[in-house]
Structure 1
Amino acid sequence: MTRAAAVCSLLLALGFGLPGVFGALHLARTGEVWTFMGFPTYGGGPFERLGLPSSVALIVAFVVVCVLELVVGVLLWVGAPHAALLSLVLLPVEMAFWIGFALPFGPPLGIARVVLALLA
């Protein structure tokens, strides 16, 4: 189960982190939110409706969270003793970004990762 949790973590880290880098670069260059496969990345979600517009700093903060997610994934993969706890600690921060940017695949994969890691 630990390896399955690691896969969830790595999917989240790479699936959101890599587009986040491109999204931040695009926003910095053009001032517009990058679209991927017809969908705005990191824009138009609840953050903006709450008065927090997409910015390079906000997207970079999310990319940093994705890097932490990558670290958690590697720690889970190698069976590090505190990896499950780190996975749990990271979840609320990730949830804030997933919900704020309206990223629907984040919460189910994140919850699955934590459950799998804690059950292992």
Structure 2
Amino acid sequence: MERTAFGSAYRPGGDEVLARSAAVLAWSSGLGFGLPGLYAIAHLVRHGEIATFLGYPTYGHGVFENRCGIRTTVPLLSAFVVVCAAECGAGALLWRQRRAGAALALVLLPAETVFWVGFSLPYGPVAAAARTALVLRYRRRVPGRARKLA
């Protein structure tokens, strides 16, 4: 635990724990899918085929490839990497307990879902379910800014 200037232990409040836990999950998903996505793009551009990891295709053989063809993989994967970067941004905002981070995490969820289904990524929804539960609890516990009535 961190110590304050007066020597007492710093204990984060429940709202901070919710926000920071959601932030860690957002970063995990954003980096966990985004960085390999960059590698997959580079591999596909260089070799003209989907990269494999431990014998499994990375970002291939899913709905996108089956319905749209491999030629669409680079643009779709590039868009997914941008969504992953935005998710990391949501994590940064959540870490600082900004409600905008919670809103961004929720807004990104439908786009992420499209990519998880399209690229057949089974672990994305699991992490997103936990992150979304934390974000919703956080939003419910932390009131928004008071709106001025004109």
Q: Which has the larger radius of gyration?
A: 2
Q: In the alignment, what sits opposite 2:38?
A: 21
Q: 2 CA distance for matches of 1:8 and 1:107?
A: 12
TM-score, normalised on structure 2?
Answer: 0.76
Shift of 1:52: 4.2
Aligned residues: 120
RMSD: 1.2
Residue 66 of structure 2 aligns to which amino acid in structure 1?
R
Q: Where does residue 6 of structure 1 map in the other structure?
A: 23
1:8 Cα deviation after fit: 0.9
Structure 2's unaligned 5+ residue stretches are: 1-17, 139-150
Aligned twin of 1:43: 60
Taking the aligned partners of 2:95 and 2:123, their CA distance within structure 1 comes to 21
| Most deviating of 94-103 and 73-82 | 73-82
Identity of matched residues, %? 49
* Aligned amino acid, residue 25 of structure 2: C
- 1:108 is matched with 126
Q: Which residue of 2 aligns with 1:88?
A: 106
Rounded to whole Å, the distance in 2 between the matches of 1:74 and 1:39 is 31
